Structure 1
C-alpha cells in the first residue's frame, strides 16, 4: 500500500483494533440542516469528545466544523450528492474532487453509489474515476454502496448487500459502507466477500439505542470493521456519551450490556 494512504488510513482506523467509528454529517445537502447538525462546531465537538475516529462532511462544511482547538479527528470529504427535492434523489453526481479534499486537509474521501438506479452507469463511471484519482494521490476512498432502484426488492437482502460490497471492492475502494443485513451469519458472508474493511450504515434513526448498539456489536462479531452512522449518533440526546459507549464495543470489545450501562450512567 502507498505509504501516504497507509498513514491517512491510520487517522481513521485505530492502529490497534483496525476498527473505526465514523460519523457522517453530510446530510445537509440531501435533507437540509436537520436537528443535530445545525451548529457544526458543536456537533463535531460532541463526537470528538466521545472519541469518534472520523467525520464525513461536504467540502463547504469543513470550514463550519473546524474547531481550531481540542482533540483532532479524522476528516473524510464527501464527493457526491443529490437532494430529496429532486425527482431523482438516488441519482448522485460528483460535486467535489480528490484535489479539493487534499486542499482541505482531508484524510480520506467518500463517494455514494446507488446500484439499480436508472443512472447507475454514471455513478459507477464517477466512482471509477475517483478511485483512480485517489490512488494517484495516496488518498483512501470510502465507498457508500446501496441497492436502490426499480429491480431492488430489498436493499437489506444479504446477497444484494454482498453484491454492493463487492462492487465497492472491485472498483478500487479502500473501505466499503453497506447496510447491516440483520443477522451475524449473513453479514459474515458480506465481509468474507471483500478483501477490504466493511463498515455498517445506520439508516433511518432507530427508536431503540439498545437495538443500535446490538447491531454494531453483532456486525463486529461477523467480521465488520466498525460503523459509519450519522443520525443515530448526532441526533441522540447525548451524542458524546453514546460515542463513548460505541468505543467500548468497537475498540474495547465490551458487551452490549456494559455499553448500555455506561450510556445510562
Structure 2
C-alpha cells in the first residue's frame, strides 16, 4: 500500500534502508526515569544526533510536541504494563491505531512477551492490530521477547522464534534482543523476511559495549536498532546518536564511532 510505504520512509532512511529508533515509552513501565524526565529535550537531542524515529505513548505526543528543531519520525506505542504488576510481562493495549493516526503517527508499535501468562491475549492483540494497520496503511513495529519462566531471552533459538512470529503476524519491522554474536544473530535475520532491529536492554557499563553490540548486529544483517536507555541516558546523547549513525548508516567501525563520542567527527 502506498500509504504504508510513504510512512515507512519517515522512519527508515530511504538511502540506506536502515533505521535508528529511540524508544522513550519507559514512563509507563518505570516512571519519569533519568533521561526522559524532560521528554521535549530528549526528543530534541536524539533528533539533532540524526535518529530516524522515537517511540512515545500517546500522552507524551500531546505534551511533547516540539514544533522546532530537526524533523524526526513518530512511532506511537500501543502496549503497556508497569513494573509494579505481579505479572509485568503481560502487556495490554492502551491505544488504538486510529488514535495514533489522529496524533500524526508515522507508525505504531506493540509489545509481545512469549511464554508470559497472557501470551495468548498478546498474540490475539497482535493479530488485531496488524489487521487494522493494513486497513489504514500504517506501519507496525513489533517488539517481541521470550520472557516466560525459565526462558533465556537471548538464546538464539528463542530470538529467532520471536523474530519469525513478528513477521508471521504482519509486522513491518521486528525488534528483538541481540544474541551476543554476529554468527548467532545472522540465523535470526536469516529466518525473518522483514527488517530486524535490535533492542538495547538494560543500561550497559560502557558506551563501547553498546557500539560493539550494534556493530555486531549490523554485520549480521540487522537493519538498525531500537535502543532506549543506552541512548537517552548517555552522557552526551547527541554524540551517542551520531556515533550510532556512523555504524548504522555509514557502515563505520567501532573505533570510528568512538572517535565521534570523544569529540571527533
TM-score normalised to structure 1 length: 0.98
DSSP-derived class of the 1:252 partner: coil
DSSP-derived class of the 2:234 partner: coil
C-alpha distance after superposition, 1:98-125 (max 9, x if no partner): 0000000000000000000010000000
Alignment partners' CA distance in 2, 1:184 and 1:56: 26
Partner of 1:136: 135
Query: Cα offset for 1:151?
Result: 4.4
1:46 aligns with 2:45: yes
DSSP-derived class of the 2:249 partner: helix
Aligned length: 263
Which runs of 5 or more residues in structure 2 are unaligned? none
Partner of 1:97: 96
C-alpha distance after superposition, 1:198-225 (max 9, x if no partner): 0000000000111110111110110100
Partner of 1:187: 185
DSSP-derived class of the 1:11 partner: helix
Candidates 254, 257, 260, aligned match of 2:255? 257
Query: Cα offset for 1:64?
Result: 2.3
C-alpha distance after superposition, 1:154-193 (max 9, x if no partner): 1000000000000101001000000000000110000010
TM-score normalised to structure 2 length: 0.98
Conserved in 2, the CA contact under 8 Å of 1:116 and 1:151? Answer: no
DSSP-derived class of the 1:213 partner: helix
Alignment partners' CA distance in 2, 1:167 and 1:128: 11
Partner of 1:162: 160
Partner of 1:55: 54
Conserved in 2, the CA contact under 8 Å of 1:148 and 1:155? Answer: yes
Alignment partners' CA distance in 1, 2:65 and 2:19: 20
Q: Equivalent residues in 2 for 1:193-208 (5 A)?
A: 193-208=191-206
Alignment partners' CA distance in 2, 1:65 and 1:71: 14
Partner of 1:175: 173
Query: Cα offset for 1:65?
Result: 2.1
Alignment partners' CA distance in 2, 1:18 and 1:135: 21
Alignment partners' CA distance in 2, 1:55 and 1:219: 20
Alignment partners' CA distance in 2, 1:116 and 1:198: 21
Partner of 1:117: 116
Alignment partners' CA distance in 2, 1:50 and 1:167: 32
Partner of 2:11: 12
1:88 aligns with 2:87: yes
Alignment partners' CA distance in 2, 1:70 and 1:179: 31
Candidates 235, 238, 245, aligned match of 1:240? 238
Alignment partners' CA distance in 1, 2:247 and 2:180: 18
DSSP-derived class of the 2:127 partner: helix
Conserved in 2, the CA contact under 8 Å of 1:184 and 1:219? Answer: yes
Partner of 1:147: 146
Which runs of 5 or more residues in structure 1 are unaligned? none
C-alpha distance after superposition, 1:61-110 (max 9, x if no partner): 10222111121100000001000011110000000000000000000000
Alignment partners' CA distance in 2, 1:259 and 1:87: 40
